Amino acid sequence: MFDLKDVGFRTEGKAAKTLLSDITVSFPTRAFSAIVGHNGSGKSTLLKILARKYRQFSGDIRMGTVALTDHSIRDFARKVAYLPQNPTVPPHLSVRELVGFGRYPWRGAFGRYRASDYEKIDQAMVQTHVDGFADRLVSSLSGGERQRVWLAMLLAQDAPILLLDEPTSALDVGHQRDILHLVSDLKNTIGLTVIAVLHDIDMVGRFADHILALRHGTTCWQGDARDFMQADTLQHIYDADIGVITVPQSNISISYIA
């Protein structure tokens, strides 16, 4: 879906720093891609460039066949839904109202919401298990609950591409699994393209189809989950002593710190 060629990014100002350079990668359509790497490796920056939050990148990015910058704002919002790492929580909105804003790209400032819009909103809340507190204020929820509410808003947005910046950082293991399972389910059933920045190695190995590893703003490794869950690959990416064992009678591998 996204084809990047020699993408680089520098911050502006007097103390300019190169955050990304020479990234050449193709994120496959209808697949779950994960961006991994150590802290400060440029993962979030790359995702923000794909979400058009940073516009001064160098190189060439195509979304499908069209250059990334050639979409109108509304058009882009209908195609790409983006969840930032720390979204601003409006203090006065209820869960249902916030999720309802997912329909904004389709209805705009003045268009009436139709029955189908309300269906999509309800469906998104059920899928993310937030329907139980639909009429509470978002600001009164816990971090994990908020994360699911935001995801519900993205689902209501009904965009074929999801960009998620650490969507499970505040969740316990059970909810992490639920969310990633849901996202990967949607990928399989309705053909979503998902690109997520993830930290948990095992979750990446379990759910991702394609993995891009960054280090110091350059491509360090890319490949599929099976190759990713190898001790030497992980040691190379994270620069730490990591071992991998395979669970008997399954194709699941788990990592451990040696």
Q: Which spans of this chain sit near other proteins (rule: CB under 8 A)?
A: 14, 51-53, 73-78, 80-82, 84, 87-94, 97, 101-102, 104-105, 108-110, 135, 137, 139-140, 157
The nearest distance, CB 81 to other proteins, in angstroms, is: 7
| CA angle, 143 then 122 then 105, to 5° | 85
Residue 52 CB, nearest approach to other proteins (Å)? 8
Q: Which residue lies nearer to other proteins by CB, 25 or 137?
A: 137
Query: Is 127 strand, coil or helix?
Result: helix
Query: Shortest distance, CB of residue 91 to other proteins, whole angstroms?
Result: 4
Closer residue to other proteins, CB minimum distance, 94 or 219: 94
Buried/exposed 171-196: b ≥16 CB within 10 Å, e otherwise: beeebbebbbebbbebbeeeebbbbb
Closest CB 151 distance from other proteins, rounded Å: 13
- Residues paired with 258 in a beta bridge: none
Contact 174/14 with Cβ under 8 angstroms?
Answer: no
Between helix 143-156 and helix 115-127 the angle, nearest 10°, is: 140
By beta-carbon proximity to other proteins, the closer residue of 91 and 174 is 91
* Closer residue to other proteins in complex, CB, 81/203: 81
